[in-house]
Amino acid sequence: YRVAVFASGQGSNFQTLVDASKAGWLGADIVLLVCDKPQAPVVERARKAGVECFLFDPKAYGRREDYEQEITAELNKQQIDLIVLAGYMRLLTSVLVEPYAGRMINIHPSLLPAFPGKNAIGQAWEYGVKVTGATVHLVDGGMDTGAIVAQAAVEITEGDIIESVEEKIHAAERDLYPKVVSWFAHDLVHVEGRKVRILSKPE
Ligand code: GRF
């Protein structure tokens, strides 16, 4: 089962997926990193892990569709089964979304549908919620609107500061995302419109 990760930044989720794959329980290989920021720390992580990189500069293209065509060609060549977005900071067009419908997931640092879009942790903090978390969802044409696959809750308690909330959410993400990828790799995810069922979890 062949996975491509799209990322633009730190790559802590990328790293967790690579580690889980090497540990053997993911049931999937991370074979490709797609990145729009050649200087991003995630690129160095990929090099260290021996994962092939497809790097591109969006400014070198006229339209989003143009670089997405090139990405699609690379995904086809590599026979990618699942696209995992992990801090990929660009909206996708139908060039990628349509062929990978049901086979592309994103992780978002809030309990959707609360606080979609940028700076979700800051939005939740400012709002004053007592429970927040992380959501893995299928990717559709909208901003964080696709069907929800899994969520993990994080409590905000007395004594928390925004940085400690951030750390708790990132820890929840690192726990949740590899699990979800393993469900896909074991063909346990069944999508019926907005209702996503997980057939039976691998222990
Ligand atoms: C994560 O918080 C994820 O929820 C959001 O972007 C961040 C990526 O972090 N979509 P990293 O690059 O995996 O460290």
pLDDT score recorded for residue 2: 98
Ligand 1 binding pocket mutation candidate from 107, 143, 175 (most atoms within 8 A of CB)? 107
Burial of 186: CB neighbours in 10 Å, binned 0-12, 13-18, 19+: middle
For residue 166, which phi and psi values (nearest 5 degrees)? Answer: -55, -45
In a domain, 175, yes or no: yes
Report if residue 51 sits inside a domain: yes
The structural domain count of the chain equals 1
- Rounded Cα distance, 150 and 133, in Å: 11
pLDDT at 201: 61
Residue to substitute in 84, 166, 173, 176 for testing ligand 1 pocket (most ligand atoms within 8 angstroms of CB): 173
144 falls within a domain: yes
Domain hosting residue 161, numbered range: 2-198
User: Residue 106 annotated as binding?
Assistant: yes
Residue 76 assigned as binding residue: no
126 domain-assigned? yes
What average pLDDT is seen over the chain? 96
Active site residue 170: no
Query: Considering the domain boundaries, does residue 185 fall inside one?
Result: yes
> Any idea what the CATH number is for the domain that residue 137 is in?
3.40.50.170
* Cβ atoms 81, 2 nearer than 8 A: yes
Specify if 171 maps to a domain. yes
CB 136 within 8 A of CB 176: yes
* pLDDT value of position 203: 57
Pick from 75, 57, 76, 77: which is nearest to 67 by CA?
Answer: 57
Q: What is the pLDDT of residue 200?
A: 85
In a domain, 203, yes or no: no
pLDDT tens for the chain, residues 1 to 203 = 999 999 999 999 999 999 999 999 999 999 999 999 999 999 999 999 999 999 999 999 999 999 999 999 999 999 999 999 999 999 999 999 999 999 999 999 999 999 999 999 999 999 999 999 999 999 998 999 999 999 999 999 999 999 999 999 999 999 999 999 999 999 999 999 999 999 986 55
For 22, the token pair is: 């090497």
Torsion angle of C-alpha atoms 104, 33, 57, 136, degrees rounded to 10: 30
